[in-house]
Amino acid sequence: MVRLLIVYTISTFVVLAGVLFGFDISSISGVVGTDQYRNFFGDPLGTRQGGITSGMAAGSLVGALSSSFLWCIGAATQSASNGVAMLIAGRIVSGVCIGLTSSLVPIYQSEIAPHKIRGRIIVFQTLAITAGIMIQYFIQYGCSFIDSEAAFRIPWAIQAILAIFLIIGLFWLPRSPVLAYLRTGIGDINDPLVLAEYKEIEDQISTEREENSNSYRELFSRMS
C-alpha cells in the first residue's frame, strides 16, 4: 500500500503538466470570438489567425525532442503581447513545453509505476489535459465579461501560476527509476520486488542494445 501511495502521489503532481497542456490547447479558442481580442489584434483572419493558432503546434514539434522549463516564459509572452508577432512567439514557446511534457510525463509515469497499475497511472495525464481544457474554458467565459484587454490577458497569464508550482515541485521528485524508494517507501535495495524489477529493466536494455534499434531511422524507413 505504501509503495502504491507514493506512485499515485508523484503521478498526481506531475500531471499538472497535463493541466497546463489543456490550458494552452483552449487558451486561444475561447478568446478569438471576443471583441476585446479582435479589436486589440486588428481582427486577425486567414493566414494571420492561422499563424497564431498553429504556433503552438510548431513549438510542440521542437519541444517533443528537447527539454527545458519554458511554461512561464510562454505564458508571460502571450499575456504581455503587444501585437500578433509577439503572440505567435509566445504560443511557439508554450508549444515547445507542450511537446516536451507530452513526451516526458507519460515516460516518467510508466517508469515509476508497477506493472499492475501502469495503465491507470498513464491515464491520469489524459484526464488532466481534459480537465485543463474545461477549466480554461470556464476562466475564459468569466473573463469575457471584462470590458478591457484583461479579457484575454488573464486566461493566458493564469498558466504561469501552475507552471511555477510545477517548476518548484520538480526539485522534490525522485529521479526515475528510484525503485528502492518507490516500491518500498524506505529505500530497501534488497527487497525481492525491487531486485526483480531491476533485473527486468537490465534485461530489456540488453535486448534493445543487441537489436541495435534506431527509433528515428525506423520511423522514416519502409517496413520490410
User: pTM for the full model?
Assistant: 0.66
- Number of domains within the chain: 2
Q: How far apart are CA 16 and CA 38, in angstroms?
A: 31
Residue 101: inside a domain: yes
187: left (phi over 0), alpha (psi -120 to 50) or beta: left
Q: Is 43 helix (H, G, I), strand (E, B) or coil?
A: coil
Residue 224: inside a domain: no
Q: Which of 13-17, 53-57, 88-92, 113-117 shows the lowest mean pLDDT across its residues?
A: 53-57
High-pLDDT (> 70) share of the chain, % = 77
146 contact partners, CB below 8 Å, separation of at least 6:
36, 154
- Are 113 and 184 within one domain? no
Q: By residue range, what is the domain housing residue 30?
A: 2-170
Q: Is residue 48 scored above 50 in pLDDT?
A: yes
Per-residue pLDDT reduced to its tens digit, 66-98: 544 577 788 888 888 888 888 888 888 887 777
Provide DSSP, 139-203: HHHHHTT-SSTHHHHHHHHTHHHHHHHHHHHHTTSPPSP-HHHHHHSS--TT-HHHHHHHHHHHH
Per-residue pLDDT reduced to its tens digit, 182-212: 766 666 677 777 777 777 777 776 776 666 6
Nearest Cα to Cα of residue 32 among 19, 41, 22, 23:
41
The domain that holds 83 is classified in CATH as 1.20.1250.20
- Are 147 and 202 within one domain? no
- Are 143 and 68 within one domain? yes
140 contact partners, CB below 8 Å, separation of at least 6:
26, 27, 30, 31, 155
